[in-house]
Structure 1
């Protein structure tokens, strides 16, 4: 099992990065928020989970071991595969997911792309408190790009994900000025927009 990779970020895409380590380029699937936090040419460490299928081996990467553990736990729910588990962590952080499943907050769970009411009920029922209790949030807002630059990056990411320029602009404007870095701002925007594209 490949549990962690440290190397140089060779390429950053919308949902995948290439991490060079030991002369090998590892293609790692990541959430948009994780991709936004990585910079080409910089050194990075990703906590990874290898998903083995009959016809593929796919490596998923996360900023923390906690995110990886939540990703793996989510896949124990029937009907939840790696794509939905990654989408869940794109919309809700690990602690938000813990709160949502432990309190049965179906509305929050239904913000995850691909999760309807029945899937949300299954998540709450089958996972319950297995994700552990929500940890205290450490520190204040994450340090990120200067204000203005983060908003521009997030707006571009939302457009690439399928929202119109106008919808992306409104979502970013509503959240701007809170001192959020690009990754946290993107997560908040995805949470705000849910599955709506109009």
Structure 2
């Protein structure tokens, strides 16, 4: 198990980063909120979980042990794999996930792409008594900061790709991006467009 990685950030994407450890660049999948705090060249420590599959080794990273613990905990529920667990933490903050589970808040849980009512009920049933609901959650508002002046279609394409990676369909991603980029005061940076699209999809 690779429990953490520390080193300079070599690359930052919408939902991943490359961290150099001992001369080796490790690709770490993470949430937009975590990526938002990273900058190329910055020394960083990420709490990680290595998911081993027959055909792949995939590293998932988080800003703190709490998020990593919840990522691992929700995967104990049948039908919840690492991709869905990461989507949960991309849409909701750890505190909000725990609160929803503890209170049986199905409406909040079903905001996550890939989680329907039955899946949400199963999550609540199996985890309600295992999580502690805490206050202060602020949602998963963090996003990746990109330089201003990026061509509009390039920005839209990056955001659509990120949303599809989180589990929304191409149509949902396209509609959400279109709805938040149409007006004169519409956001133009990737970070702002992604944040607005996530809000739109969470309604």
Kept in 2, the 8 Å contact 1:92–1:191? The answer is no
Rounded to whole Å, the distance in 2 between the matches of 1:192 and 1:45 is: 32
Within 5 Å, give how 1:1-198 maps onto structure 2: 1-136=1-136, 158-160=159-161, 161=163, 162-164=173-175, 165-169=177-181, 190-194=198-202
Deviation at 1:168, TM superposition (A): 3.0
Instruction: Find the aligned partners of 2:55 and 2:38 in 1 and give their Cα distance.
Output: 29
Shift of 1:57: 1.3
| TM-score, structure 1 normalization | 0.76
Shift of 1:49: 0.6
Give the whole-Å Cα distance in 1 for the aligned partners of 2:127 and 2:159: 30
Distance 1:53 1:11, change over 3 A: same
Q: Residue 33 of structure 1: CA displacement?
A: 2.1
Structure 1 segments of 4+ aligned residues over 6 angstroms from their partners: none
Conservation of the 8 A alpha-carbon contact between 2:94 and 2:137? no
With over 3 angstroms needed to count, the CA separation of the structure-2 counterparts of 1:87 and 1:44, relative to structure 1, is same
Answer yes or no: is the 8 Å Cα contact 1:49–1:61 preserved in 2.
yes
Q: Secondary structure at the match of 2:25?
A: strand
Distance 1:163 1:78 in 2: 30
Listed as ranges, the gaps of 5+ residues in structure 1 are 177-181
What RMSD in Å do the two structures reach over aligned CA positions? 3.1
C-alpha change, 1:136 and 1:107, in structure 2 (3 Å) is closer
For the 8 Å contact 1:90–1:187, the answer to whether it is kept is no
Paired residues, number: 177
Deviations along 1:42-75, whole A, 9 cap, x unmatched? 1111110111112221110001110000000000
Whether the 8 Å CA contact 1:91–1:190 is kept in 2: the answer is yes
Question: How far is 1:12 from its partner?
Answer: 1.1
Corresponding residue SS for 1:77: coil
